[in-house]
Each structure stands twice: as structure tokens, then as C-alpha cells.
Amino acid sequence: MPDFQPRVFSGVQPTGNLHLGNYLGAITKFVELQRTHDCIYCVVDLHAITVAQDPRELRASIREVAAAFIAAGVDPTQHIVFNQSQVAEHAELAWVFNCVARMGWLSRMTQFKEKAGKDRENASVGLFAYPCLMAADILLYRATHVPVGEDQKQHLELARDVAQKFNLDFAESIAANGHGEAFFPLPEPLIQGVATRVMSLRDGTKKMSKSDPSDNSRINLSDDADTIAQKVRKAKTDPDALPSEVEGLGKRPEADNLVGIFAALNGQSKADVLKAFGGGNFSTFKSALVDLSVAKLVPIGTEMKRLTADPSHIDGVLANGAARAREIARVTMAAVKDIVGFVS
């Protein structure tokens, strides 16, 4: 595999209720990686319509996700922030990848099984082909690193499989067109830290999710201080004191989750948190967690509100990002067309 220029790509769906899991699993990583990499962060609106969306809410959610990136510290002047549907090459490359990926690969995707549920016949074709679009998002920019939460691991593996199969299927043409041994890098997932899978506040065995019917199961980035405090106080726990060692969290999913959230928000390890709170009861720990969550999240929520109050500013940021993304996308897509054998 030749060396590819390091580049970060990641995306977040504009489907409402951005929550602490999105923030700790993905968005905080986006901010960190800006220091060391060229980064492209995308509001993946084409992905959102794989299930029904209200057009007005979708438009508001697209702006809200862009605002969340910026409020959390992503700098759209140094890096690229845009929404997917403004760069037509995402859909174009996804089609090529639909023809590279195999039915069997997509049939194994657990997210499709979960989202389609029992009524598979009624799921959209887009929901099934979703991972090919995700592979196209990443590979359109020949990105090498993809910060995501644990739940996206399988999709990332599929993106690597697509890249590898394309490189193999078209090896001769890739070389003949002057691209050497491989056209696409095999993108590496970056799933790191203590909060790669933030769990529901109501059930430590279930992932914190936008679609959970109970709003108390998650902390939304738009929640105010009182709401955050209430949700943390109501969060499910068990009757025992907090353990002093990480091993003691083993069979205690709710305690493990809250300690992990504290650690991630405070930039610590779980062991550090237990050094401070081990042996104590949950109410002391929860008070500290309320203070920490409010201190970290409320300023982001406030800034998101300020930014979304001026949609024309956000739209300008997205249009500028899309123009810069398109420049890279065009070059990749032109090369892909030559490699595949299209006449242009």
C-alpha cells in the first residue's frame, strides 16, 4: 500500500437531538485532531433521508449540527465544514461503490438490521445501501483517519473492504492511469478514549441514542443547566458505593457509564475518577457530575443557539466549506471515472 497524505474525515447525521454520546464519541475528537491533521467534517444530510424526515426540521437540524461543530471548537476557516448534499460527487461515488460492494456484505450490517427491524421489506433501499454512501464520503477525499464512536466500527470495516476491492478489481486500470498500486487508502477508524460508547442514563446496557423515546435517557447538547441537573440526578444507579478500582465497575453498567462520562468530560481516566470518588455514595458523585456537565456543555449549547439564530451565517459557512470540498471531490471523481472506463 503506497503512502497517502494523512487526512481526517467524519460525519454526523442531522436527525435531531445531538447528545452527549455524539459529543464525547465524535465531536471532541474532531476538535483534537484539528491540531495535527487536515480535517473535513460533514453534516451527512443524504444519510438522514434513508428514513423519513420532515423537510423543515431537516433544514434546522443541518444548521444545528454545523453549529455544534463550531460551538465545540471546530474551526471552519482552517478546516472544511459542509453538508453532504451540496457536493454531488458523494452520491456519484456511492453509486460506483454500490456496484463494488456485495449484497452479502451489506446484509451483515447490524445497524441495518436494528433500524429496519422486523419490517425489512418496507425499509428504504437507501437504508440498505447506506454503508456504501458512508464509504464514498470518506474515500471521496481519500481520507486516512476517521474519528467515530464504537457503533460505526462495522461500517468502517466495510469502507475498508470497498476500498480494497476497488483497488483490486481495477488494479490494472489504476496503474495504467498513473495512480500506482492503489487508488484508495484503507481508512483507519479512530475509536479511542473512555467514551467511545456512551450508554443511556436509564439503562446502562443500551447505547445513548437520538431515537430513544425517553428524553431522560440522554443529555442533549441543547439542554439547559436545570435539565442537565435533573437528568443526571435521575440517572439509574445501583445501591452500592462507588468502587475504588476500575475492575469494580465490571458488572455495574450504570456506574461504569457515569464514571466514563465524568472521566471523558474532565480529560481523566476512570481510575483517576475512582481515586477521587471511590468508596463514596452516588449522590456526592452525581453532584460533582452535574457541576462538571453544566460547566462543559451549557456554554456549547448557548453558542449553538447564538449561531443558529443567524441561519444566513451558518449557510455561508456551509457553502464555503462545500466549495472547498468540491475542489477535492472533483479530482477524485474524475480519476475514478477514468479508472472505471467512462468516457468524459
Q: Which is nearer to ligand TYM, 243 or 260 (CB)?
A: 260
C-alpha cell at 223: 439542554
Q: Does 138 bind ligand TYM (CB under 6 A)?
A: yes
Indicate which residue of 29, 113, 118, 210 is catalytic.
210
Active site residue 115: yes
Helix (H, G, I), strand (E, B) or coil at 40: strand
Site for ligand TYM (CB under 6 A): how many residues? 25
* DSSP character at residue 241: P
Q: Does 146 bind ligand TYM (CB under 6 A)?
A: yes
| Sign of torsion over alpha carbons 306, 312, 318, 321 | negative
- Contact between 90 and 329 (Cβ < 8 Å): yes
Q: Does 152 bind ligand TYM (CB under 6 A)?
A: yes
d(CA 235, CA 233): 6
Region binding ligand TYM by CB under 6 A among candidate stretches 195-203, 225-233, 250-258, 317-325: 195-203
C-alpha cell at 45: 444530510
Q: Does 149 bind ligand TYM (CB under 6 A)?
A: yes
Binder of ligand TYM out of 208, 232, 265, 328 (CB under 6 A):
208
> Going by DSSP bridges, is the β-strand pair 8-12/188-190 parallel, antiparallel, or unpaired?
unpaired
Region binding ligand TYM by CB under 6 A among candidate stretches 68-76, 146-154, 233-241, 295-303: 146-154
Q: Which is nearer to ligand TYM, 175 or 292 (CB)?
A: 292
Q: Which is nearer to ligand TYM, 13 or 237 (CB)?
A: 13
Which stretch of DSSP H or E encloses residue 42?
Answer: strand 39-43
User: Of 281, 315, 110, which is closest to residue 207 (Cα–Cα)?
Assistant: 110
CB of 71 to ligand TYM, least distance (A): 16
Active site residue 270: no
* Residue 55 CB contacts under 8 Å (≥ 6 apart), including other chains: none
Active site residue 207: yes
CB of 274 to ligand TYM, least distance (A): 21
* DSSP character at residue 178: T
C-alpha cell at 152: 460505526
Residues that bind ligand TYM (CB under 6 A): 9-13, 21-22, 25-26, 44, 47, 134, 137-138, 146, 148-149, 151-152, 155, 196-198, 207-208
Catalytic site positions = 115, 207, 210
